[in-house]
Structure 1
Amino acid sequence: MLDYNKEADGYDVSRGGEARAEAATRTLLDLIPDTVGRLLDVACGTGIVTRRLAAARPGLRVTGADLTPAMVRRATARLPGAIVRADSRRLPFRGGAFGAVTTVWLLHLLDDADDVRAIVAECARVLRPGGVYITTVDKAAAHDVGSDIDVVLAPRPRRPAADAAGTVTGHATRCGLQPVGRSVFRGAGQGRSPRETIADLHRGWFTMLPPGDPRTEEFAARLARLPDQNRPRPDPTFSVRAYRKPAAG
């Protein structure tokens, strides 16, 4: 996994910046009922989405939580007094404290299936009856847009997706949550170019292809033979799922 203390300063720019954050925020708000009073944004990162959620609905009390100190500092600068440092597997909030809980670009990062289950369970625990849990799913698959880059990378080894929609829905259902909605939004400026993909390979972003591995270099060489080395291919389309905690009684 990336060192997010080191990534924090350049994180937003490398992940679509304000344009992607705006698209994500609009999609989340479409799935969050107007009656929600408190929202928890788990693994809020730099707070780029958290701040937009708070600004879009002045009556919504938004709290962000993240484990990485550098991310917490950046998020706090955006939303002073509303950010806490916390492990998403053990949230420091009482049960039923929030009307909505979000996890945006979190579950795909986890290698341990028990961690995914624990996070979904914690989000369900702190959700009040009638509240909604909203999360991104299938993030890795979103980047497969049918381009020539994807054709080259198709044979690469892949780990099972921790955030596969079916897997996440199974965890949510076991926690008593019911699927209630889904949506998508387009990434902004995140279409891969061959040259950028080669750099990502060498950075270790493809987790089953470590830097220096002969297979990594073979894929890099294939990518280097593609035309238009600097031309970005189409942007990814990200998927979002919503689950509701049944109202008491």
Structure 2
Amino acid sequence: MIDYDGEAGGYDASRGGEARAAATAEAVEQLLPAETCALVDVACGTGIVTRRLSRPGRTILGVDRSQGMLALASGRLPHRVVRGDATRLPIKSGNVDAVLFIWLLHLLDGAAPVFAEGARVLRAGGVLVTTVDKEEGAFHAASDVAAMTAPMRRQHTTRATDHFERVVALGASLGLSMVGDTLFTGIGQGRTPRQWCEQIIAGRVPWSREASPAQIADLCRDLSSLPDQDVARPDPLYRLIALTC
């Protein structure tokens, strides 16, 4: 797991900064009902996306358990962020129009408790918006890295906590049905072959964590043999879906 307190200071810059935040917020807004007045962003991080969702007449609350992230978010959203756990939101039942899980589910061992909590705080007709298939976003476009990593990635995909079909089924079990989806680009997040090797060796790539040391060594050797070691491959294309109760 990433040390979010330790990485808070450089987190935004390492993940596309304001350009990525703008693309994310625009995509989220596409899935929100026009009458959304109360929104909670769960795992809001530094608040760089949350801030862009502010509208006249809309109340926003950012929730995160990382004090380092919240220190930055509070500057962007004064008095509108709170420290809390995604499985125990400090919100009354049936009290919000929209709940956001942006780049959260893929970090969890199981999404059921978080999803149940999101459903609990939604008003009737409210929407839950979440990213799905996060780790596959980097491979939407054909590339040498995509082709080389495909065999290892296939073993992980259907087991991922944020796998699209698993998320939709989980939502259905809680009375939530899918009502929309959209895509957005993770601007500035394309990685080079060298960066992929570094991330895999550091254990920060979920689809590689169950591989054996020998498999990891073989993959990194092959990635290191690719041309243009310091040229980023295509930026990720992320998927957002909206479910309603």
TM-score band, normalised by shorter chain: over 0.9
Structure 2 residue aligned with 1:119: 114
Q: What is the CA–CA distance in structure 2 between the aligned matches of 1:53 and 1:203, rounded to whole Å?
A: 34
Q: What is the CA–CA distance in structure 2 between the aligned matches of 1:12 and 1:227, rounded to whole Å?
A: 29
Pair 1:46–1:8, CA change in 2 (3 A): same
Using the size of structure 2 for normalisation, the TM-score is: 0.93
Residue 151 of structure 2 corresponds to residue 155 of structure 1: yes
Residue 89 of structure 2 corresponds to residue 91 of structure 1: yes
Pair 1:209–1:177, CA change in 2 (3 A): closer
Structure 1 residue aligned with 2:199: 200
Q: Provide the secondary structure at the position in 1 that maps to 2:151.
A: coil
Q: Provide the secondary structure at the position in 2 that maps to 1:156.
A: helix
Deviation at 1:119, TM superposition (A): 0.7
Pair 1:206–1:183, CA change in 2 (3 A): same
Q: Provide the secondary structure at the position in 2 that maps to 1:226.
A: coil
Give the residue type in structure 2 aligned to 1:29: E
Q: What is the CA–CA distance in structure 2 between the aligned matches of 1:45 and 1:34, rounded to whole Å?
A: 25
Q: What is the CA–CA distance in structure 1 between the aligned matches of 2:221 and 2:76, rounded to whole Å?
A: 42
User: Mean Cα displacement is larger for which, 123-132 or 199-208?
Assistant: 199-208
Deviation at 1:237, TM superposition (A): 0.7
Structure 2 residue aligned with 1:21: 21
- Do 1:210 and 1:216's aligned partners in 2 also have CA atoms closer than 8 Å? no
Q: CA RMSD in A?
A: 1.7
Unaligned runs of 5+ in 2: none
Q: What is the CA–CA distance in structure 2 between the aligned matches of 1:105 and 1:238, rounded to whole Å?
A: 10
Q: What is the CA–CA distance in structure 2 between the aligned matches of 1:106 and 1:209, rounded to whole Å?
A: 18
Q: What is the CA–CA distance in structure 1 between the aligned matches of 2:149 and 2:211, rounded to whole Å?
A: 15
Structure 1 residue aligned with 2:134: 139
Residue 35 of structure 2 corresponds to residue 35 of structure 1: yes
- Do 1:204 and 1:210's aligned partners in 2 also have CA atoms closer than 8 Å? no
User: Mean Cα displacement is larger for which, 214-223 or 231-240?
Assistant: 214-223
Using the size of structure 1 for normalisation, the TM-score is: 0.91
Q: What is the CA–CA distance in structure 2 between the aligned matches of 1:219 and 1:31, rounded to whole Å?
A: 38
Deviation at 1:244, TM superposition (A): 1.2
Unaligned runs of 5+ in 1: none
The alignment of Structure 1 onto Structure 2 pairs a total of residues equal to 240
Pair 1:209–1:216, CA change in 2 (3 A): farther
Structure 2 residue aligned with 1:217: 217
